[in-house]
Structures are given as structure tokens and as C-alpha cells.
Amino acid sequence: MKLIVAGPGAFGQKHLDALKRIDGVEVAAVIGPEMDATRATAEKYGIPQALATLEEGLALPGVEAAILCTPTPIHAAQAQQCLAAGKHVMVEIPLADSWADAQAVAALQQQTGLVAMVGHTRRFNPSHQWIHRKIVAGELKLQHLDVQTFFFRRTNMNALGQPRSWTDHLLWHHAAHTVDLFQYQTGEAVVAANALQGPDHPALGIAMDMSIQMKATGGALCTLSLSFNNDGPLGTFFRYICDNGTYIARYDDLISGKDEKIDVSKVDVSMDGIELQDREFIAAIRDGREPNASVAKVLPCYEVLNRLEQSLL
């Protein structure tokens, strides 16, 4: 299967690392407007072409699908561009930074019938998969999901320490992970949602701190705090408070509330959530089925983000 990867930056390279471990996949081109960086990434991964535009990549012979790791503000437009060109697409989180744009992608996916998936990686991390299986089996019931998403980002730099051409967002990007995960793990809709935010950064123009509360249909709560002002430790920490135990997940690792390490190495074929996400995308295309984290399945997350944004106006 021939793929193209748009975005040679930090997250694009995570996908390129993952794709090397998946049989039967060929990356035909890496795409990015800064040609020096794009060529360097293509050379690093042995990819035959470095291209400047998504349009060029979609026109390559035999290309079936695209993975978009491009700036958030163009995710929705580029996802629609791929679908309109007859290509399956996985767009990194977030699908869009507005409810209208998210709905537009969903509508085009329904019209084309192509696989369209979003990088909601928490659905695939072995730690969260372990919890999900326990909930589905009736062994756990989630009562409160307490989440901290903490970064130190007072300048517009990416995870590789390189300048960004766009500005990251706590609500539409980082909160999207938890809003979707909460609904996925409970299997229920969010019936109440509230948000507060701190002052905007004078140069970046975004809120640097945010607090979100949610309640699911069955009564489970989620409390999410987010900050770009936190000077370590960095990352996201999920505390699952359940009727039959407490568990703390950090990416692909899981411990109990008593600090006992839980072996999640046999949950799936890899311990890398990005690789598992990519495997699901490719398998869904090959099998002609809807993937986990399809646009349709994650769309309720973006409806909740829209509600939260409206409450902050």
C-alpha cells in the first residue's frame, strides 16, 4: 500500500518510525513547504520523494492514502482535499479547530465512503486499551477520570525545539484527547460540560491555563486541567477512579493506585500507540471497514469542544 505523509516535523517522524514496522506499506513521499527540512526527513527515512504540496503527493501514481501531520488550522481543509481526490486519510488530532469544519469533513466522508480517521491515540495506547477492556467486560466502572495535561510552552516551538508556523491550542488540540477518551471509556455522551480559562499570553494570543469539567449520561465525572505554564514534569497523566480499583496511565504505561506496575505488554502487537493507530488505519483500508477513531466515531468530541468554546466567549 502506497502512502504519503504530509508534515516532516516531530509528529510526522513518529508516524514514519511506526510505518517502518508495518509490513506491506510504502511511503511514496514526504510533504512539507520548507524543502530543506522535508528533503532531510525524506533522506533520513529513505523516502524516494520530497514534495512541497499535498496536491503533488495526491497525484503520485498508486497512492491510496495520506497521513496528515500538518498545522492544526489546515487539518480540515486538507482532509477534505484528500477525500475529494479519492484517497483514504488519517489526520492527526485535532480533526478541526471549529465544529463547522469538523462537520464538513464528516459529511464528505459519508459522501465518499472512504476511510477517514483521526489521531486520537489514547484509544490505542495499551494502558488505555487495558482499562477499556475491563470496562467492556463489566470488571470496572469508571466513576471519575482525573486528568492533568501539562507543558511548558511560552514560545511558539514544537516538540523538536523548532519554531512553529502556527499556534497550538489547549482546547481544540490537547483537551480533545481527554474529551474523546472520556466518552470512549464510558460509552456515554457528555451531558454537562463547563470550562474556565486563564489570561491569554500577550504574544501567542492563547489561553495558557484551562480547567474543564464534564459529566457523562451515567453520572461519571471527568476533571481536566491543562497548562502551558507548567515547568515539569511534562505530559498527560490520567487517573481512573473506578468502582473496583484506581489506575494511573501515562501514555503506554499503567500503574495501580498503590503504585504497582501493570504489565500491558501483551495487550496488543506493539507498545507504541502511534504504531497501533497506524496499523488500525491500514487494516481498515484493507478490510473495507470503519476504523476505531473514525471521523464519525470521534465527532461527538468536537461537538463538546464547541460547547466548551461557546461557554468561554
Residue-level pLDDT at 153: 81
Residue-level pLDDT at 85: 98
What's the N-to-C CA distance of the chain in angstroms? 45
- HEC profile of 104-133: HHHHHHHHHCCCEEEECHHHCCHHHHHHHH
Residue-level pLDDT at 155: 74
**Widest pairwise Cα distance in the chain:** 55
Q: What is the pTM of this model?
A: 0.95
Q: Let me know the angle formed at the C-alpha of 39 by 34 and 42, rounded to the nearest 5 degrees.
A: 125
Render each residue's pLDDT in the chain as its tens digit; 313 residues: 999 999 999 899 999 999 999 999 999 999 999 999 999 999 999 999 999 999 999 999 999 999 999 999 999 999 999 999 999 999 999 999 999 999 999 999 999 999 999 999 999 999 999 999 999 999 999 999 999 999 988 776 666 667 666 678 899 999 999 999 999 999 999 999 999 999 999 888 889 999 999 999 999 999 999 999 999 989 999 999 999 999 999 988 999 999 999 999 999 999 999 999 999 999 999 999 999 999 999 999 999 999 999 999 7
